[in-house]
A and B are shown apart, each in its own frame.
Chain A
């Protein structure tokens, strides 16, 4: 953990006359695993969209370390993939390798693909159609797809909402392990406070349009008031 990877200064967002949050400040240190918590509708997704550069904030700015171009891996909350989804786990993860347009992949790309499949324990499932895998395995495939380009920042958007407790711990435990061994910076968006407390270094809490931050150890179960 060290220099800030992302610094948000005086950030405000409103849609029409509805203010989502105003004048918030926070930093995400490089190599940290940070949770973004808050009640439903508190603006977690809006903030995520700003960090992903999909949405321009109403005012304020986000600065990123280095040359300003941050490679972000994102695991979205919903995926519309049913039981009949035909692509294998390997092909699904490969979708995000966009270095060149034509069909065949270079040796370097294949190596990166195998590496990420190994890291996410998906090597044995690589040839299985994604539609036939379990909920936890699907989440690991989404994670692998987000990681295949070795991003500077990984954003997980409520990935545990539909998982049972054991699978949830396994998934976030895996992310934590990648965070600690590879120095991957992670923003974990969730409303699962015990999970945030167990697996992250610090929290960002969005509440009533304001942001507060602190060490993950200080997270309490009644922190979010609806």
Chain B
């Protein structure tokens, strides 16, 4: 068997005149945890639902384990229930008229599993999410976090090869979300499930994924590991949407140099094949030091504003290349009006594609 679980090719989904997904292609490897990240309306959920067969694409193809699930040119589509995927819904979709046990057993009953085996499998799934003690509880009497766990147990109970997650944590409060994030990652690793995860929360995407796909207005902006996405954003959109970045305007002058506004020349890293028409360089707010380090780009500036956030301090620095935002640990506070030297490595100044 090949290492590819899911292959999506040139997927297009239209709603009437609107194009929700406009030619998206990617693959998901066995056991990989892939996240579709983007703002609302970027087509990430539509893409996920198309993989599940809940959304009817207009063109392209989707295959799972080498089997064609959808092929626009041959007008073929396998109905949802025969695709063998599983899904956790944003609203959890825990059936209120059933007990926790019945919810989790649903997929097994559909598959006509014997009583003993079914019971063992349901209990195993409930154990994984620490919900076994509530097996007989009516599903309508559960808290949000508990419903979330039931939805998760239900999704993995029938041992699917692929689990799709549609913003499963977005309805939980911040603290519970952080906990569930850890648990989800743990579970995913332990079971070795292939998963596709949709979220608009960039922190969540970076924390739990093997690879991230950043989407915007129906197309893919960038595919890469969380580190690649963060350190080497390809476009202004990615730099802006994932983490926080300063954008410095100017033009490339060849050989890894960039003539920024204000007459400053910066050493930058060029990941893509440059066209010469680029106009922006992205520098992460966390990667700028306020003391000169050897080998870095150095830009003089003055502290205009200081905001104390607790976990970090945010400075707005007026510099030759324009106002820059810098986030530093909350130690050695600088006063407003202080003169500083901004210092950042050429590795962290990324020339953005046009």
The finding on whether chains A and B are genuine partners in a shared complex, rather than unrelated, reads: no
